[in-house]
Structure 1
Amino acid sequence: MDVPFVLFPLATENGEHQTDARLGADCVALVIYGQRRMGRHIPYVSPPALKKFLTPVLPRTDGNWPASRGDVLHFGFQTAVIYEDRKPYGVLNDDDLIIHTYHGRAEVVRFGALPYRSHRLEVYRWPRN
């Protein structure tokens, strides 16, 4: 996507959202943008409000989080999406690739490289329609 980080992106003068126009995005706008590109009518909301559009995923019995491409990683103040589940498959681990935006540009990084990865995590999935 290669857009800069913009905290609380807004509508442009012509009424298009900055994220839809690929002018800038914050963490939650980036998560929502992907769904909008797939035809879903999701409004741009705050990270806490995003949860009402998602289905919670429970941790595995071994305490690890399951991982699947497209899962939303919700850290309360920050959101990201699993871009690629890497070995061991089906388990969130440091080598899984994540797409996020955090005080820079939208980018794909290893989960282990996320600067906020030690914060409380919840995992969600978009409902299948």
Structure 2
Amino acid sequence: MSEAGRELVPVVTVPVHRHGRLWVVELPADGVWTCGRSLDQARERSHAALALAREIGLDQVTVRVRLDGPEMDALEQARERERAALAAAVVRLRSQAVPWPEVARLLQVSQREARQAFAEASATTAG
């Protein structure tokens, strides 16, 4: 099937927490409770259980696991602040006609990361 004909598959992020030697997944809204000895096993089992609970095929949903807890919330917020600060710095330097290699060197990132931050900042302001 071509890219244009492909439907977007929703990504469901499932919270996991440690209970003894197991990773536990609880999705009460979908009636899903499962676990695994590894994160991969917990993800695979929650993927199968979620597809079964929603009466859809495995190929109609993607599951990713996320550690449940305030530490992960704080980490995600810090990463978002870092992305925003990087984008602002790249935009400022590029508005001063600073070449990409120097932008990357000054901000201690690769040129690819600098260009990506610029593109994301441009997309945010455009739409």
Q: TM-score, normalised by structure 2?
A: 0.24
Query: Which protein has the larger Cα radius of gyration, Structure 1 or Structure 2?
Result: 2
Indicate the structure with greater helix content: 2
Q: TM-score, normalised by structure 1?
A: 0.24
